[in-house]
Amino acid sequence: MFEFIQEKLNKALASLSGKGVLTETDVDTALRELRLGLLEADVALPAVKQLLGAVREKAVGEAVLRGVNPGQQVVKIVYDEVVAMLGAPAELNLNAAPPAVLLLCGLQGGGKTTTAGKLAKWLKEKHSKSVVMASLDVYRPAAIQQLAVLAERVGVPVLQSESTHVPERTTQALAFAKSHSADVLILDTAGRTDIDEALLAELKAVHATAKPVATLLVADGQTGQVAAQVAKTFNETVPLTGLVLTRMDGDARGGAALSMRVVSGKPILFLGMGEKLEALDVFRPEGIAGRILGQGDVVALVQKVQAAVAEDDTAKIEQKILKGGMLDFNDLLKQLKMMQRMGGMSGLLDLLPGMGALKAKVGEEKLAEKLNDKVIKRQQAIVLSMTIAERKKPDLLNGKRRLRIARGAGVEVSEVNKLVKMLEGLNQMAKLMKGGNLSALKAMFTGR
């Protein structure tokens, strides 16, 4: 759907390229199109509202980049916001005295039984857990058999019981897990085609007896907005710890993921990617965000905008140098952020004037080692611990101030000193750039 949206956005915003910043009118034009598109993609209204509100706040007043059009720029902001709303990946927490009980719930046909088998395999093979399973779906004899077949294929024990009484089976399941000294007991439950009181009451009782450390709602990712309501209702019955979205191998656009996350406030842990036992993916927000917004196109676009931001920042710094200005810590911070975005030194080096030759001389590996991600993060922390005045006027940094900054950033003073030196080096480099004095540049990067 998003190729379509993007086209509309581009048309709506085509006339804006010449302007300096994204205005309210520009952004609102873009967001109107976006709103329709998101609703079409079956994103629930509360999620749409939250997303558009956040995008509006970020986009209005943003400087228009060269090299991309404003529509693309807004899409990038939307993408970042979708990723943020989907939340950081959360882990399945099974920290409990064994057997840790993992309870799966959801509507009928959502994929609970299949997911039980997938999780058993994942826990057994990827995490070396001893797993047992039990079905509490007494309403369909075939359901108990279905879990038994999956258990056999994975090679884990499954509760064998004739009982059709759910509380009794629950107690049996716990005893069964103990007798096997299992690390994890996976409980598969019954579902209905619709949420009803009886189903919820039964689930509540199972939850009270089994005291699961993890309760996952398994829902069909193709159902869109419905899934969000389901998540909300189940969460009001038993405290969910996370969500599993199934049938994400189909043409589901992922609107359900965003809706469920926002409406329930629970993290998505896994995606079902097919009927096979190994078709289980650990959830990654970037993948789903790209999908909600139209697959690889958006990912490529995001990279393009990132590159444009980098170019823009570099251009500004270049201009400053050309005008004979001294670089300050704000410039350095921009460079550090850019390095991080570019995911390493080599991309950055290509962007900086004269750097290709330097790269050849010093060796890419040596530079990468000097400027790896961890170092960059610490350097950013140092700049962020400075006052606004200090960032603008590096000369202010006497010993006392450096000590305070080091404490604030949680680093040694020597690291602050190094960063001050680095800025001095950059300023020297700026002067020498014309002369092509490579040995000075080399000294700056190697610290010698």
Ligand X SMILES: Nc1nc2c(ncn2[C@@H]2O[C@H](COP(=O)(O)OP(=O)(O)O)[C@@H](O)[C@H]2O)c(=O)[nH]1
For binding to ligand X (CB under 6 A), which residues are involved?
106, 108-114, 191, 218, 246-247, 249-250, 272-275, 279
Q: Which one of ligand X, Mg ion, none interacts with residue 334, CB within 5 to 8 A by kind?
A: none
- Quick one: 117 or 254, whose CB is closer to Mg ion? 117
Q: Copy the structure tokens of residue 120.
A: 């058993």
Q: Which one of Mg ion, ligand X, none interacts with residue 114, CB within 5 to 8 A by kind?
A: ligand X
Shortest distance in whole angstroms from residue 296 CB to ligand X: 21
- Quick one: 7 or 196, whose CB is closer to Mg ion? 196
- Quick one: 139 or 346, whose CB is closer to Mg ion? 139
Shortest distance in whole angstroms from residue 227 CB to ligand X: 13
Pairing of strands 268-272, 280-282: antiparallel
- Quick one: 153 or 178, whose CB is closer to ligand X? 153
Shortest distance in whole angstroms from residue 107 CB to Mg ion: 10
Shortest distance in whole angstroms from residue 105 CB to Mg ion: 11
Shortest distance in whole angstroms from residue 229 CB to Mg ion: 21
Shortest distance in whole angstroms from residue 276 CB to ligand X: 9
| Secondary structure (3-state) at 160 | coil
Stretch that binds Mg ion, among 143-151, 303-311, 390-398, 403-411 (CB under 5 A): 143-151
Residue 143 contacts Mg ion per CB under 5 A:
yes
Q: Which one of ligand X, Mg ion, none interacts with residue 109, CB within 5 to 8 A by kind?
A: ligand X
CA dihedral for 68, 82, 109, 150, sign (positive or negative): positive
Q: What is the 3-state secondary structure (H, E, C) of 3-67?
A: HHHHHHHHHHHHHHCCCCECCHHHHHHHHHHHHHHHHHCCCCHHHHHHHHHHHHHHHCCCECCCC
Sheet holding 214-220, edge to edge: 131-135, 184-188, 100-105, 214-220, 242-246, 268-272, 280-282
Shortest distance in whole angstroms from residue 164 CB to ligand X: 17
- Quick one: 28 or 249, whose CB is closer to ligand X? 249
Shortest distance in whole angstroms from residue 93 CB to Mg ion: 24
Q: Copy the structure tokens of residue 320.
A: 């400053």
Residue 100 phi, psi (nearest 5): -75, 125
Q: Which one of ligand X, Mg ion, none interacts with residue 110, CB within 5 to 8 A by kind?
A: ligand X
- Say if residue 386 is exposed, middle or buried (CB neighbours under 10 Å; 0-12, 13-18, 19+): buried
Place of tokens 């075939």: 142
| Exposure class string for 120-133: b at 16+ Cβ within 10 A, else e | bbbbbeeeebbbbb
- Quick one: 155 or 250, whose CB is closer to ligand X? 250
The helices-and-strands tally (H runs, E runs) of the chain is 21, 7
Q: Which one of Mg ion, ligand X, none interacts with residue 87, CB within 5 to 8 A by kind?
A: none
Shortest distance in whole angstroms from residue 136 CB to Mg ion: 10
Place of tokens 């009794």: 168
Stretch that binds Mg ion, among 142-150, 253-261, 358-366, 385-393 (CB under 5 A): 142-150
Q: What is the 3-state secondary structure (H, E, C) of 231-251?
A: HHHHHHHCCCCEEEEECCCCC
- Quick one: 55 or 219, whose CB is closer to ligand X? 219
- Quick one: 218 or 441, whose CB is closer to ligand X? 218
Quote the Cα angle for 186-190-195, to 5°: 125
Q: Which one of Mg ion, ligand X, none interacts with residue 318, CB within 5 to 8 A by kind?
A: none
Stretch that binds Mg ion, among 92-100, 136-144, 206-214, 348-356 (CB under 5 A): 136-144
- Quick one: 218 or 243, whose CB is closer to ligand X? 218
Q: Which one of Mg ion, ligand X, none interacts with residue 274, CB within 5 to 8 A by kind?
A: ligand X
Enumerate residues 98-117 that contact Mg ion by CB under 5 A: 112-113
Which helix H or strand E contains 281, and what residues bound it?
strand 280-282
What does R_g of the chain's alpha carbons equal in angstroms?
A: 28
Residues that bind Mg ion (CB under 5 A): 112-113, 143
